[in-house]
Each structure stands twice: as structure tokens, then as C-alpha cells.
Chain A
Amino acid sequence: MNYTTWIYIGIVGGVISIGVAIYLYFWVMRQNKGSEKAQEVSSWIRSGANTYLRRLYTALAILAVIIGVIIALIFSFNFENIGTTGIVVDPKNGIQMAISFVVGALCSAVAGYMGMRVAVEANVRTATAAEQSLESAFRISFYAGSVLGLAMVGLAVIGMSVIFLVTGQAHAVLGFSFGASTLALLAKAGGGIYTKTADIAADLVGKVEIGIPEDDPRNPAVVADNVGDNVGDVAGMGADIFDSYVASTVAVMLLGASFAETLQYQYTVIPLILCTLGVFASLLGIQFVRVREGGKPGAALNRGTIITCIIYIAMLLVLVFLGHVNMAIFWSAFVGIVAGVLIGFTSDYFTNDQHKPVQQTAKESTSGSAITIITGFSYGLISILPSILGVVIATLISFNVTQASGLPGVYGIGVAAVGMLAISGMIVSADAYGPIVDNARGIAEMAGMDHEVIARADVLDSAGNTAKAITKGFSISAAALTVLALFAAYAEVVEANGMAITISLREPLVVAGVLLGATAPPIFSALLMLSVTHNAFDMIEEIRRQFREKPGILAGTEMPDYDRCVGLAAQGALSSLVLPTFLAVGLPLLVGFVLGPDALGGFLGGAIFTGVIFALFMANAGGLWDNAKKYIESGKFGGPGSEAHKAAVVGDTVGDPFKDTAGPSINTLITVMSLVSSLFAPIIAVFHLF
């Protein structure tokens, strides 16, 4: 089998994927935009989203240039044989690495922008289509979500393949991944802060103080809230999975590059082949996602995911048998994908109101908000176990199968992560569908559409919430496996630079590293959540001011100033990113240069373990509190207005930044930390204080 041909096939697959994404984009744009009122409401959201993206991408462009220049400078010097040949100047390497970094950031930004662009156009069309039928509304929203999913995997595969083809170095692709992850960190954390600032402020003043319902156009923060759905769940989640997708592939490529020379090329290219198969599987799987009038959109999304998995596994089998690829690759990828789906569905168990955890939390809310918090917190902690077991089983099976086949076992762990993420095209399509239908519902409310339209939008929205919960479990678990592979890649890179690495808890520097690393995710989470509360505080004051100074808002005779809230949310989110970014990028470097590579290894270990646990806990506990509140609102334990409902609202408000700000951002934090460490490992191996 010619592995170079596979790289070209990957590029073709990527081009097809982007082509289909563009086709779907124009298909969505051809759909009916609806009434003038609906278009006006949609234009507020579109304008708010564009304002935020413009500010975010401006900040990112400046950051990318600064980091790119630093990378170009640092990597223009080769310290590998400093003892014998001294420092060798190699500007080509520095420029290659810097370009890879910028291209990575650019691809992630383009995918996020495409996703956002179509989402803010599809929401009004989905609402308008819901006037006719559930089927047509579902089709528009899902195809719009597919634009992000397909563009994301297409750009990732093309980017990684082209950089590898041009440079022939897996390490250069690491720069691409670092670029993607840096953007993802800012997009996900910034989007998370934005969306929850707006959501919490809108709810606390609108619902609790004034008593106006969700999505009521009289609420000055309602547009910021809807914009937040897009920037947090479309651009943010898209960038997050793009980052994990690329990072897992790069980790395996780096491990492959450390193999013996005869195997090196083959095993460096294999992860790209796995991604290529995933692109084709997603393209086919998306065709099976359909729903009829009266049907269940959630079931259609799940069916699409399962069929995509089956297609992918079949393609893997064909690859292994016809291409004479080591069978361990199949088993590792197979274990990864099965574990990913199972973990996704166990997350659903803890966050779905059909099951005991949500129902029990709702029931115990009748005893007050303290009990709600304790119950949800406890179930959130328990929810970690199934996902961790899935990761453990996937890790052990993939490691041992691969080891038994004569390859380093850790390579199999990386392949399991790639297998899990290979069908990201489908997963992201289902995930991005959620905020689109959520926005469609908001537009239907604000534009005063018929109650039947809102009822259909509710059905679509409910499926979106389930898809979101599954995707979160999936992406966190994939990130866990990815960083395990990146951790191994880091050790390989250090050892390739002539330094033996010993990560033992009997070494005080390693223990120091582990402890410092373990504190990083909690501190990062705290910084993000404090940003949410500080920004929400400012926005609450602004909403109160508007209601106070414009009494006609509530009477419906005066328009609120939506732009003020949109601007506050955007400004607050972006200015809050400085410290978390430093923590993600600066702290590993500080630990590495001061305490040395062993301590940095310990640091990564500590960060990975607490990071995975915090991410799972926060995502699941937040989802559980949210659905416990919705369960009560559906008419259980007293329904809306009851004491149980008041307690559940407190739980939901606490859980909001857990599930949509801190939890999902931790994936990106640990990926960025691992990538920074691997990228700078050759330099840290030479320059460190201890």
C-alpha cells in the first residue's frame, strides 16, 4: 500500500467534505427567510455574533502574530546537539513551524466562522420552516450544523496532510495543532464566558426580578443570550473538537515518527488515513439523519451517529485486510469509537430526565436549594466513574493489543483517541444543530410566531440538548485519551533530544510538578467562572438601568438597547481571557524551564488527571441541574412557581458556568498544555534550571 497516495486521498476527502459543506451552506441560504419581523430579530442576533467574532478574531490575529514570531525565532535555533556542534541556526525550521502555527489557527478560525455564519442564517430559516413542518425545520437545522462538522474535518485533514507532505515532519504538524488549540482555547473559553454572562444576567433580571418569560423581546439581554448560544456552542464547541481532533492525530503521528526507520513513515501516516476514513464515513452517515412529521429528532441524530460508526468500522476492516495494516490498529480504533459512543450515552444517563439522577435531584429540590446543590453535586461526582472506566478500558485494551502486535502500546492509545474522534464530522453536525434550533425557538418567540411553531421548535430543541450532552461526554473522553497520547509523545520528544526522562513519584521535582499540574484545572475553572460572575454583575446592572430609565420597555412601547448588552458581554469575555491563556501557555513553560523535563512530565500528569475529572464532573453536574429544573417545569413536584422550582432554578444557575464555561474549556486547557510541552520539549530538554 502506498502511504503517500493515502495522504493525497486525505486531501481529496477534505476537499469533498468542504465542497459538501459549501453546497449545504448555499442550500440553507436558499431557504425561505420568513417574515420581516423574523428577519429583523435574526438580524439582531447576526449583528451581535459578527461584532463578537470581529473582536475575537482581531485579538486572535494579534496573538497569533506575536506567538508566530516567537515560534519562528525560537525554532530557528537548533539546540539538539548543543554539546558537540553548539547552537545551529536553522531559519527554515523556524519559519515552517510559525507558518504551521498560523495555518492551524487560521483553519480553526475559518471552520468556526463558517459554522457561525451558517448558524445565524439558519436559525430564522428553521423557525420559518417550522411553520410548515417539523421535517423541513429539522432538515435545515441539521444541514446547517453539518456545514460546521464537514468544514471542520475537511480543513483539519487538508491542513495536516499538506503540512506533512510539504515538510515531511510530524513535528511541523505539531505547530499546526498548537495553532488550532490556541484559537480553540480562546474561542471556547471566551464563548463560554460570553454565553453564560448573557444567560445568567438575562435570567436573573428578566425572569426572577421582573417576571418576564425566556426569550421575551422586552429583555435587554435577550439578543446577547441568543448570540451567546452561537459563540459558545457553535464557534466554541467547533473549535474545541477541531483542536482535539487535530491534537489526537498529531500525537499519534509524533509517536509514529519515533518508530524504527522502516516503520516510521507508515505509522506516521496511519492516523491521517484514519481521519480520512472518518471524513467519508461522516459524509455517508449524515445522509441517514432524517425525521418525519411526528418523528423524534433525537432518535434521528442518534441513528446518524450509530450508522456513521458502523460505516467507519466497516471501512477500517477493509483498510486492514486490503492494505495489510497491523490488526492492532483496527482493534484500537474500534475500542476507541465504541468507548466514545458508550461514554456519550452514559453522560446522557446522568443528564436526561428519563433517568433517576435528574428525577431524584428534582424530587429533592422540594427540600430547598441547598439539597438541590448537594444532590446534583454528588451525582456529578458519581457520573465521572462510567466515563473514566470507559477511558481506562479503552486505554488498557488498545495498549495491550498494540503491544502484543509488536508495536509500542502507547501508539494504540493514541489510535483509540483518533478512532473516537474520527467521526467528528457527524458528531459536530449533531452538536451544532442544538444552538441553531435553540435560536430558532428564540426567534419564533420574539417574532410572535404561532404557538404551533414554538411547539415544533420545542421538540427540535429538546433533541438538541440531548445531542449536546452526548457530545460533551464524547469530547471530554476523547481529550483524555488524546492527552495521554500527547503525554507519551512529550516523553518521546524529550528522549529524542538525548535526555532520559524519569517520571517517578519518588522524585521530589516530579511530585512538585504533579501538585502544580493538579492545581491548574481548578484554578483555570475558577478564573473562568469568576469572569462569568463579574461580567454578569455588570450586565445585571445594565439591564436594571434600562428597565429603570426606560419604563416603556416593559409596557412594550419602547425598544431595549440590545447592543449595549451585546457589547458588554463581548468586551467582558475577551478581557477575561488574559489570565487563563497565560495559565495554559505560560505555566507549563515556567515549570519546564525552572523545574526541568521530569517535573514538567509530572505537571502534565497532574493536570491531565484532575482536568479530566473536573471536566466530566462540571459538564454532567451542570447538565443534570439544568434538566432537573426542566423536569419540574414539565409539571412535576409542583411545577413552575413552586418551592421545588425555585430551588431548581438556583441549581441551574450554579450549573450554567459549570457545563458551558469551565467544564468544556478544560479539555482545551489540558490539550494546549500538552502541546506546548511537546512543542518546546527540545528546548526545555537543554535549558532548565533544576
Chain B
Amino acid sequence: MTTHFYLSLLPEALIVSMLDPEEFGTYYAVGSAKKSRGQAIFFEVDPTFRHPYFRIDEALKRCVPHEDGSPKASIYVSVYRVLEHVDIDALMDLYLTTQDGRTLGLKSSDQLPPAEEGLHLYQEIVPVSPLVVSRLDPVSFYELIVKTPTSLITVPAITFVELQLGELANDPEMGLVENLPYSNIDHLRQCLSDVKTKFVSTKMVDRTHSPVVPYRCVKNGFFVGNAEKLRYYPMPSAETLRTENYRWFRSASM
């Protein structure tokens, strides 16, 4: 059995497992022996990756099949402050698992998305998970948070996703909400209006925001970066997802 390394983002953890990514996503989302559910987002990590911060080889020794021959589902190598110790180049595909265990794999892209006019909504996933609005495009936002902070706030590495704002991106006060499922829309409008009119480039909308990502609202894709590098995982269009990954699309659209 092949042993895989996974960097889970919900929660932040490095895991070794004998399950392939789809199986691991299902296992991680719906559990194995009890009724549970929950979204899972994880990277597959290059199996040759090693870092003195992690006792990976020790974990590998414990990652052996069960007595009945079934594969070992998970051995936690580390939790907390994992991303900052992982080399971005070691990250392979990103996997998005719905709460009922359907998994979609995303490949990274060499090209970053073009900067767009209008306001942006970012959900940070790791290391902290606030919901933030900003005038900055994703690359500038990453640079502000990780590389060239203009305030005291900075993180060594970050994973975040840009969410759709629809008409609110250009018209926070009067734009139609349509199919945006965010709670407390009035507060969101106010925050957007503030970054549009006041001298702040970013503003926190919700400091205790759930790290669960509303997949159907992802705008461009997922971003992961540290001081050295930023990597982008583009999200396929809704139409592509519907035609090519219907089951996942349906679960993600609930």
C-alpha cells in the first residue's frame, strides 16, 4: 500500500495515510465508525518532503495496515503551525471535499489570475480564519499579509480563497445580493463601503468566521503562499464542474 502525506487545512495538520486522496477525503469528511460530517480541504504533499520540525519518519513507522489488512487511515504527524514549515514546492494537488464526502482535485496553475476592478472578499483558511474585505487583488492581498506588511499584522504563510461578491463588488450599497449566501449582509455592505470610501485597504468582516468554505461561491480559486512563493489553484467554472464533476458539484451546491 502506498503511503500518502496530506496537509489538512481544516484543521491545520500534517497527516500520513494509506488512503488515496478521494478515500482520504471521504474518510476525513464523514468519519469511519461514527456518524459525523464536515468539510475537508487538504493538499497532497510530496512524499519525499522532510523538515526537522516534523517527526515524519516516526509517523511512517506507525502507519501500517490494521490487523485485518485494511489500510491505516491516518497518523497525525503534527497539528498547529504546520503550513509555515512546509515548502510550497512540496505541495501537490489541492483537494476539496464536501461535507458528505465527495472530493474534487485541483491542480495548481503557473499563471495567477489577472487583477480585476472592484472590491474583493477573502476568506482566510490557515493559520487564522477571518472573513476580510479588501480593495486589493489577491496577489496584493497576499503581499500585504505575508511579504510586505504595512502594519503589525503578518503571518509567515497563508492559505486563502477569494469569494464572489457579485454586484456588491462595484456597488456595495445598492448591488443585488442574488445568490450570495453570506449572513449579515448589511454588515458586509457596510464593510465594503468602508474600504471603498475610507483610507483602509482591508477590513475584517467577521473575526470568528467559520473556516468552512462555501465552495459554490469561490470566485477564482485558492491561494497558498509564504515569504518565498505564492501558488494558485484555479477553480473550474460552475458549468465545467456541473458537466465533469456533477456529483461533487451537487453536494457543493447544497
Contacts and interface: CB of A to CB of B under 8 A. Distances in A.
Contacts of A210: 30, 35, 37, 99-100
A640 interface: yes
Interface string B27-63: 1001111110100000000000000000000000000
Contact of B179 (A451, A551, A635): A635
Contacts of B246: 450-451, 454
B181 A554 contact: no
A331 interface: no
Contacts of A451: 242-243, 246
Nearest to A206: B100
Contact of B183 (A547, A635, A640, A643): A643
B214 A641 contact: yes
A640 B30 contact: no
A64 B182 CA distance: 57
Given A212-B100, A451-B242, A451-B243, A638 B26 contact: no
B179 A639 contact: yes
B250 interface: yes
A211 B32 CA distance: 16
Interface string A206-222: 01011111001010000
Nearest to B98: A211
A547 B35 CA distance: 6
Interface residues of B, number: 32
A544 B251 CA distance: 20
Given A207-B254, A211-B251, A451-B242, A554 B100 contact: yes
Interface string A447-458: 010110010000
Contact of A213 (B30, B182, B183, B254): B254
A211 B250 CA distance: 11
Given A213-B250, A635-B178, A556 B100 contact: no
Interface in B174-219: 177-183, 185, 214, 216
A247 to B, nearest CB: 44
A260 interface: no
Given A639-B180, A639-B181, A641-B181, A211 B216 contact: no
A548 B32 CA distance: 10
Nearest to A445: B250
A44 interface: no
Nearest to A449: B246
A638 B182 contact: yes
Nearest to A637: B177
Contacts of A132: none
Among B34, B101, B216, B251, which residue has the most Cβ atoms of chain A within 10 A?
A: B101
Given A451-B246, A555-B26, A548 B179 contact: no
B251 A639 contact: no
A554 B254 contact: no
A16 B31 CA distance: 59
A211 B178 contact: no
A163 B98 CA distance: 62
B180 A551 contact: no
Contact of A548 (B35, B180, B216, B243): B35
A636 interface: yes
B140 interface: no
Nearest to B30: A554
A544 B181 contact: no
A451 B179 CA distance: 22
Interface string B205-246: 000000000101000000000000000000000000011001
Nearest to B39: A211
B177 A638 contact: yes
Contact of B254 (A218, A547, A640, A643): A640
Nearest to B177: A638
A4 interface: no
Given A554-B26, A554-B101, A556-B26, A636 B179 contact: yes
Contacts of A454: 246
A641 B254 contact: yes
B26 A211 contact: no
Contacts of A641: 181, 214, 216, 254
A485 to B, nearest CB: 49
B31 A645 contact: no
A642 interface: yes
Contacts of B180: 638-639, 642
A387 to B, nearest CB: 34
Contacts of B148: none
Nearest to A455: B242
Contacts of B242: 451
B175 to A, nearest CB: 14
Given A554-B100, A638-B181, A642-B181, A212 B35 contact: no
B81 to A, nearest CB: 30
A338 to B, nearest CB: 40
A212 B247 CA distance: 10
Interface in A629-666: 635-643, 645
A579 B23 CA distance: 50
A555 B34 contact: no
Given A213-B251, A554-B100, A640 B31 contact: no
Contact of A211 (B33, B37, B181, B243): B37
24 contacts: A210-B30, A210-B100, A211-B37, A212-B100, A216-B100, A218-B100, A450-B246, A451-B242, A454-B246, A548-B35, A551-B30, A554-B100, A555-B30, A635-B179, A637-B177, A638-B181, A638-B182, A639-B180, A640-B179, A640-B181, A641-B181, A641-B214, A641-B216, A643-B183
Given A218-B100, A642-B180, 17 more contacts: A210-B37, A210-B100, A211-B251, A213-B250, A448-B247, A450-B246, A454-B246, A544-B35, A555-B26, A555-B32, A635-B178, A638-B177, A638-B180, A638-B185, A640-B254, A641-B214, A641-B216
The 3 closest A-B CB pairs, nearest first, are A639-B179, A635-B179, A642-B181
